Amino acid sequence: MMSRQAFLCGLGSLYLSLLFVFLLMDVYARPANNSALKEKPADSKDENEILPPDHLNGVKMEMDGHLNKEFHQEVFLGKEMEEFEEDSEPRKNRKKLMVIFSKVDINNDKKIGAKEMQRWIMEKTDEHFQEAVEENKMHFRAVDPDGDGHVSWDEYKIKFLASKGFNEKEIAEKIRNHEELKIDEETQEVLDNLKDRWYQADNPPPDLLLNEEEFLSFLHPEHSRGMLKFMVKEIIRDLDQDGDKKLTLSEFISLPVGTVENQQAQDIDDDWVKDRRKEFEEVIDANHDGIVTMEELEEYMDPMNEYNALNEAKQMIAVADENQNHHLELEEILKYSEYFTGSKLMDYARNVHEEF
């Protein structure tokens, strides 16, 4: 009779043999890459390093004209936003929120006024600005390998297409020889839009070369007044239905392209319209004449506008100001934690005075 040890040894050998066979089958079963210009990107992160982000931290409206749903958290938490995760322990998040409260409450009167909140919003917005500046230095080095301090459109295009999976050497050679590039329609459309932004970021005198500061404006238009104007023009162009370069309420709240298929989708669309109507009437339309001009939208989009920060501070206070004293106490912020941090705290009032 075979011993237990011999049986296990034989079973292990059989397992290794089968594993080897499966690995061989997998290698030979993989399809060959027949594309002349395409190759699998070594790191998908490269694309994010050189492509302008869809989302700009601390800016009230996205570049596609949608409202920034995380704006309140971004200007209240700054770089600490990542620490407030949905699955984090409520007790830990409560303590973090208490620490933030003490930092905002600079006069230590156990309540936060509009001026204190305004100062805090400007400080957190500046954090996002500085973070973008530091990231831009790294991203600029990625597209300026020769380190001459300038990047041409062709140099950027090569790096961008490489990040999308095209063979960098072959693309560079074709561009150098002025040969036609076989690029899919979607990628070409992205390139055309990027080229428009590239020209806008090229400060006078235009030389089609971007230095590090201009490249920052290209990636983060909120850092440049000129690029901010360009972004506003793009948003107006997308939303303006009658071509008068202004926005009415009906244009601003028009639903995106698509049909409502069920009640849940209808509810989402209803909330979308409600949020945009409120933002248009109470914030963007500064003179309340029912029309939003480019100038009004530009002021609204400017993250470093102190008046906007004060207005935002008052709105944030109003959301949680249950006792109507125009200030926020710790208990109120804890109760409305989901609005300020995106994280809902359970038993928010438990041991508050013991912990703080």
| Confidence check: pLDDT of 48 > 90 | no
Q: Is residue 323 part of a domain?
A: yes
For position 208, what pLDDT does the model report? 85
pLDDT band at 35 (very low <50, low <70, confident <90, very high): very low
**222 in Cβ contact with 136 (< 8 Å):** no
* Phi/psi at 292 (5° precision): -105, 120
- C-alpha to C-alpha distance for 107 and 232, rounded to whole angstroms: 38
| Confidence check: pLDDT of 21 > 90 | no
The first and second tokens of residue 318, run together, are 């109003």
Give pTM, 2 decimals: 0.76
* Phi/psi at 270 (5° precision): -60, -40
Q: Letter for the amino acid at 149?
A: G
Q: Is residue 2 part of a domain?
A: no
Q: Of 29-33, 96-100, 257-261, which has the strongest mean pLDDT? A: 96-100
| Range in 20-24, 89-93, 159-163, 255-259 the model is least confident about | 20-24
* Phi/psi at 281 (5° precision): -75, -35
User: Of 202, 189, 190, 191, whose CA–CA distance to 230 is shortest?
Assistant: 202
- C-alpha to C-alpha distance for 22 and 36, rounded to whole angstroms: 30
pLDDT band at 265 (very low <50, low <70, confident <90, very high): low
The first and second tokens of residue 156, run together, are 């950027």
Q: What is the mean pLDDT of residues 193-210?
A: 91
User: Of 215, 165, 223, whose CA–CA distance to 194 is shortest?
Assistant: 215
Q: Is residue 61 part of a domain?
A: no
Instruction: Tell me which residue range forms the domain holding 326.
Output: 70-150+211-353
Q: What is the mean pLDDT of residues 306-334?
A: 95
- C-alpha to C-alpha distance for 162 and 10, rounded to whole angstroms: 49
Q: Is residue 201 part of a domain?
A: no
- C-alpha to C-alpha distance for 297 and 247, rounded to whole angstroms: 9
Spell out the SS3 assignment of 252-290.
Answer: HCCCCCCCCCCHHHHHHHHHHHHHHHHHHHHHHCCCCCC
Residue 209, SS3?
strand
* Phi/psi at 152 (5° precision): -85, 165
**147 in Cβ contact with 227 (< 8 Å):** no
Length of the chain equals: 356
Q: Higher-confidence residue: 333 or 205?
A: 333
pLDDT digits (tens, 9 = 90+) for 220-229: 999 999 999 9
The number of domains in the chain is: 1
| Confidence check: pLDDT of 82 > 90 | no
pLDDT band at 149 (very low <50, low <70, confident <90, very high): very high
Q: Is residue 342 part of a domain?
A: yes
Q: Higher-confidence residue: 29 or 343?
A: 343
| Confidence check: pLDDT of 258 > 60 | no
The first and second tokens of residue 127, run together, are 């954090």
- C-alpha to C-alpha distance for 344 and 337, rounded to whole angstroms: 6
The strand pairing partners of 152, in sequence order, are 209
Q: Is residue 40 part of a domain?
A: no
For position 268, what pLDDT does the model report? 57
Q: Is residue 227 part of a domain?
A: yes
pLDDT digits (tens, 9 = 90+) for 111-131: 999 999 999 999 999 999 999
| Confidence check: pLDDT of 260 > 80 | no
| Range in 79-88, 162-171, 248-257 the model is least confident about | 79-88
| Proportion of the chain above pLDDT 90, given as a percent | 60
Q: What is the mean pLDDT of residues 204-209?
A: 88
**101 in Cβ contact with 330 (< 8 Å):** yes
| Confidence check: pLDDT of 30 > 60 | no
Q: Is residue 182 part of a domain?
A: no
pLDDT digits (tens, 9 = 90+) for 266-314: 565 788 899 999 999 999 999 999 999 999 999 999 999 999 999 999 9
- C-alpha to C-alpha distance for 340 and 90, rounded to whole angstroms: 14
For residue 82, give the DSSP letter.
G
| Confidence check: pLDDT of 77 > 90 | yes
Residue 83, SS3?
helix
Mean per-residue pLDDT of the chain: 82
